Each structure stands twice: as structure tokens, then as C-alpha cells.
Amino acid sequence: MDVPALVEAARAGAPRAVARLISLVEDGHPALREVMAALAPHTGRAHIFGITGSPGVGKSTITNALVSALRARGQRVGILAVDPSSPFSGGALLGDRIRMQDHALDSGVYIRSMASRGHLGGLSWTTPQALRVLDAAGCDVVVVETVGVGQSEVEVAGLADTTLVLLAPGMGDGIQAAKAGILEIGDIFVVNKADREGADATVRDLRHMISLGDRTEPDLWRPPVLKTVAARGVGIDELMAAIDDHLAWMQGNSTLRDRRIRRAGDEIEAIAIQALRARIGDLRHGEGVDELAGQVVDGTSDPYAAADSILAAVT
């Protein structure tokens, strides 16, 4: 594999090169080390949006509307749809992506679905590396949208600079949000489908619950709660303005850098642990562990003493 040529093509925005690099990430390919080293100087420019919310709140529709707004400004956009529960990936378009068809033929938009479960650590290191590829490929904005539910929503939000939490009226509202732990992670809350009954009550509930949090110090970001009807483009300008405000606020203090340092730390840690797992796995295949395990079974050793021997062997 000619890594320098592939990286050069991806940096020029060639969709096939970008696709190839993300496939390497999904496969945990040995060339990733060289790829990431080559990409490093070209990263850190994209603004990463995380979009999270329960199924049915309109994540794809909002994403579609945001992409239109970003394209109208001339910005290049990457969209990464992460489905932690799906074994399918490799750039296959999800059914949901049909709603993205406005942009399917736009060369300024790169759309990718990615499965992550069961892949050498899941979200914790495949997704950040895919973001790194899209960032280096010149995307001004990358939208990470999770297709899964539950814990993965919170995890995906942790990968973003700006996290949008979507709700819809009558879908369980603020209480559900609090239960799912998403009140803490949202930088901007969006009540989509706001032409439905109950939208104002949902907005009120959310504002109330946010005011109960520890975010009332004057210098802290106070997450706005906006209303949209994304299918008709209503409220999207206001949402873009709120996103811009959030970016400006983060750039005006240490938040953007702090978040990125924490994320990079998580990524580094995940790669280090994966490398150690691989070394221990090699020991197991080489039967070094079986002998120790036999001693534990016989009661002549215990699991901690055996683990010490393993650690001595891999370190």
C-alpha cells in the first residue's frame, strides 16, 4: 500500500481515498500507524458536531438541514453515522441516509456509515480516527450522528466539540433526557417537530431542568433550548447561529482545547490498552498463559501472581 499517495489523495478530498482510509480504521489495519502520522499535521481544523437523541426525533432531518446551511456558506462537510449495534459497515449507506439524498451527489459532502461494535474497542478509538481522516481531508465541519440508542449516544457526544441534543414533543421529554444522562452533555438542545402539540411544554421543562444544573456561573456556557421544524427548514438559521456562538465561546476560553485534549487522551489510552491486549493475546496463543493458568487451577498459584508474571512478560 502506498500510504503517502493515499494520504495525499485524501487530503485533496478524493472520496475514494477517504473511504479507503476509513476502511483501514474499521479494520484496525497495521498501516494506520503510518496513516495517522502522515495525517497529524493536517488535523485540528474541523469543527466536530455531535448529534444525539432518541430514534424518531429527526436526527437525519436536522443533519440534512444543517448540511444545506453549511454548504450555502461554502463549507465542506463530513457526516459520520455511527451504529454501534450494527455489524454492517464499509461505507454502505443506511436506510436513514436516504433522507440525505439532497447531498448525495454534492462533492463538498462526504457521507459515511460506520459500524463499531466488536471492533477492537468500539467507539473508543475507531470513531476518533475516522474523524481524524475527515478533518485532514479538509472538512470544515464533521457531523457525528449515532444511530444507536442508550449509552452510545452519550459516548458519541463525548467525541464532539459541540453536542446537539435533539428531542421531540411528547416523546418522554425532559425526564427521559435526565434519565439518559444527556442533560449533562448537551451544549445546545433542540426541540424538533416543534409544530407538534406540547413543544412549548418540552422547551419549558428542559429550560427548568438545565437551570437546576450547576451551569449557572456567569462565565459558563448556558445551553440554549431552540425550537425547529427541520423538515421545513424552520429554526435552522437560529440553530446555526447558536452553534457559531458556542464555537466562538469555546475559542474565547480554554474549552475547545481542553475538550480536544481530553478526547486525544482517551484515544491514546484506548490505543495503548489495545496494544497491551494484543501482546497478552500473543502470549495466550503462544501458550505462555496456559502454563500459568494450569498452576492457578492446581492451586499452586493464584490469579494475581499469575497476572504479575504476564505483566512482566509483556512489559
DSSP 182: -
Does 159 engage in binding with a second copy (CB under 8 A)? no
- Cell numbers given for 81: 453515522
Does 23 engage in binding with a second copy (CB under 8 A)? no
Q: Out of 128, 186, 223, 224, which residue is the one contacting a second copy (CB under 8 A)?
A: 128
Does 285 engage in binding with a second copy (CB under 8 A)? no
Nearer to a second copy, 98 or 305 (CB): 305
Q: How big is the CA angle at 215 (ends 262 and 166), to the nearest 5 degrees?
A: 75
DSSP 217: S
Does 310 engage in binding with a second copy (CB under 8 A)? yes
Strand partners, 78: 110, 142
Q: Out of 11, 28, 43, 120, which residue is the one contacting a second copy (CB under 8 A)?
A: 43
Q: Out of 179, 204, 215, 277, which residue is the one contacting a second copy (CB under 8 A)?
A: 277
Nearer to a second copy, 92 or 311 (CB): 311
CA separation for the pair 181, 179 (Å, rounded): 5
Contacts of 154 (CB under 8 A, 6+ apart): 52, 180, 181, 182, 185
CA separation for the pair 216, 210 (Å, rounded): 9
Nearer to a second copy, 241 or 275 (CB): 275
Does 120 engage in binding with a second copy (CB under 8 A)? no
Residue type, 305: A
Site of interaction with a second copy (CB under 8 A): 32-33, 36-37, 39-44, 125, 128-129, 132, 257, 260-265, 267-269, 271-273, 275-277, 280, 284, 289-290, 292-294, 296-307, 310-311, 314-315
